[in-house]
Amino acid sequence: MRIAILAWGSLVWQPKELGCNKSFGWKPDGPILPIEFARISKDGRLTLVITSNGTKVPTLYTLSDYMTIDKAVSDLAVREGSGRNSIGWYEKLKDEFFPKGFVYQDEIREWIKDKDFDVVIWTNLGEKWERKNDKGKNEIINPNDRIGYLRKLKGPISTSAEQYIRKAPKQINTKYREKIEKELEWFPIE
């Protein structure tokens, strides 16, 4: 079974221990999905996720080292530091999705139909605008003030947030990436 892994953020430049075929590399012609900087991570970075509020961009993909959905999903969940339920997948032969209500099924089906893959998996985390502040209290970030949020970050959190945004693949050219480039001058690096 050949399994593709989709990516649009740090998975591309920092796969860590992800079981993927390094010689295959990351191909730039993955399915076109709506992606945006719309999730505050545990460490305070503003990260990319699939969201209906996103910009439709071509994602990237690589080949998993694993031959079963179960092992490939577990491996990606470990890399992402999340549970198995935060990993989406589609099995072409069975025409089966997880989660069943995944909104962008047509985009995935259209992409994989002419590819030599049996399964495609991806990180399926949604928008998240809540984080713990310096005092350990929950803080809600206004999605319309992403730039203001990034400006307020200090020290290592600010450095990490800037690095994440600048290292995101150039083809992930979202509405907010353009605003971040214009207002903060955090341009892509490779």
Query: pLDDT for 35-64, tens place per residue?
Result: 999 999 989 999 999 999 999 999 999 999
Model pLDDT, residue 96:
98
| 3 neighbors 63 (Cβ within 8 angstroms) | yes
| Regions of the chain with pLDDT less than 70 | 190
**Rounded distance between C-alpha atoms, residue 156 and residue 26, angstroms:** 28
Q: pLDDT per residue over 88-108, tens digit each?
A: 999 999 999 999 999 999 999
